[in-house]
Structure 1
Amino acid sequence: MCNDSICLVCSNLLFSNLLLLNLFQLHLAVIFEFVVTMCGFSRSTWILILAVCTGLWWEFVKKGKLCNSKSDLTGKTVIVTGANVGIGYETALALSKQNGKVIIACRNLEKAKNAVDRIKASSGNAEVDYLIVDFAKMSDIKRAVKEFISKEDRLDILINNAAMFGGGKTEDGLDTMFGVNHIGYFMFTNLLMPVLRKTSKKKPVRIINVSSEAYKVGTIDFDNLNPNLPRDSGFASLMAQYGNTKLMNVYFTIELDARLKDEFKGQEQAITTYSLHPGSIQSDIGSTVATERGFLSQAARDFFMLLIARPTVYGAQTSLCCAMKEGIEIHSGRYFADLEPAELYGNAMNQEIGKKLWTESEKLTGVQWGS
């Protein structure tokens, strides 16, 4: 219980905040009346204009397409990484509603359990579980894959969704974004290939890598694959490296598809793979960086999210399309945006870069194709 002096301070702060709020509302009212007077429109006309503009903004900016696939995933097992929040959570929830056995892979046990409980309650599907894995640690990725294979005998859909935005190093000495956004995808997928191959002998398998339109500003510098970006690096430097890792996601998908085509040469390709842009979405990515840099940075991010970014459910739709839509196997290896195959920029079309990136990734991780 607070003493009298503290209570007085609390009361003064509350009064000040209420006063500021009232003044802000008063200023808005004055501005509104001024605009009404200057433009000669009535109050009701302005309200109508505002309503129409809001409707158009929601329809063409905030609203997105929805995946209309009704595929029944009964008997199929799905992994979605980074699925305790955001796009990954919405993806896992939608797949569980299609009767799939959904396993969310994330690093925080408490958040994982909470997400599993919410998905079960919302979907009515009891076959939802979690796999604890820290994608910033190679040793933990290996442990988690062994744990999964010891419990499960099939994997029909793998969605590599986990990603991060920020500086610093992993415990393996890798740039954090390079380690999580690329090496995490590379290791997890390759180590799961035995169970993916086993499943493909009975049913088609899909691997989905969530990339981003940020790949368009990315480059792959083999002399600096693992840059030294401190946690307090400037936003431009962080954004450039994020774009680099998202470009790596695209190249990883293309090279993975090329290797799968060779593996299934002369027969139907039973394992297909896709990369994608989820859209500008109200996700948690970058929130930690914004918070660490103070109120203005956080406010700017929140304003952008409110004004431009779409609700999280729309961010899952292209992943769902790549996971379930019928007949897209002919597009294996391609990049999807807004639920459809999209043309790649020139910086993502050099096959030699993809091959070299794969080789360098094998050297860094010790994980070999086909092993």
Structure 2
Amino acid sequence: MADLDFSQKLDQARSKYEMIAKALDPEGMKTRIADLEREASAPDLWNDQENAQKVTSRLSVLQSQLKKLEAASSRLDDVEALEDLGREEDDHDTMVEAEREVEALNQDLADMEIQTLLDGEYDERAAVVTIRSGAGGVDAADWAQMLMRMYMRWAERHGYKTKVMDTSYAEEAGIKSATFQVDAEYAYGRLSVEGGTHRLVRISPFDNQGRRQTSFAAVEVIPLVEPTDHIDIPDSDIRVDTYCSSGPGGQGVNTTYSAVRVTHLPTNIVVTMQDERSQIQNRAAAMAVLQSRLLVMRHEEEAKKKKELAGDIKASWGDQMRSYVLHPYQMVKDLRTGYETSDTQGVFDGDIDAFIDAGIRWRHQQRREARAAEAEAGE
């Protein structure tokens, strides 16, 4: 029976590897790497620092992916050889080692598989995350700040650069809202599955009677806009207000009107920025986020039209997507994927990859079902 289990696990690993290799196309990756290496070696590369950073970052990501893929192929061959050796010599320890290695390989391949599912139009981009407190008063403001810390810790675990773009502090504790950027390849593809309403149930630290409180916070994730996106915003469509930046509890950060609020009049989208010292920098950052939100809106409208043409396709994201319960028991559960854990402290410390991976697989399945329904409606 053990031999059969090992054989099944090895077949599973081989099948996963072949699927990943087909999706990632190692030969095509080598060609793209060679092209990027030529660009990276150009003497005038750093004349355009933004483009240079994109080239070197993309090159690094592709080299890392190819290295992992080649290592997985070698590990498959090695574990097969190890299993053959164990059988020939009837060596129990060698067979146990082969069993351990094939299990570890399957886990690593499952992680690599996620990369192949990030195939959305903007998945490769950096992400702009906005968190807003919802129902629940001061507890909701505190909850919004807890969520911000969770995502910051997640980015830190992966070595991703983050930049806080705007923070609006609540009067008693926590934040009303915050916007920050996560600058990494596929940050949007990964974090976009975190969009929605997050619900916290706990004994309120702000209630002197120690009652249980339910709080809500909304997470919005948009891709960072790029110059090639061509989202034109006429000056007549926006209103720009300036004001003094402020810190926690209303404390003044400076006495100049450097903070900027941009209102897009046709859609009533409001973007505020105050974390840069210069009004010009804050305005540029606000316009970039506004363009990103309009880009997503345009994309959603196009998807909606396709959905209407295809008929009643299964609904996508519901508002309340995850519950975090600290009382009367400890549990974090994703309401879309069903994934859950009792390690609530680990989650709050940024250990959310399992939730993100489950969300990516869930989203991929939703997209497949939507495409199938669209194809069926078009027949």
TM exceeding 0.5: no
Query: Which structure is richer in relative contact order (CA contacts within 8 A, separation 6 or more)?
Result: 1
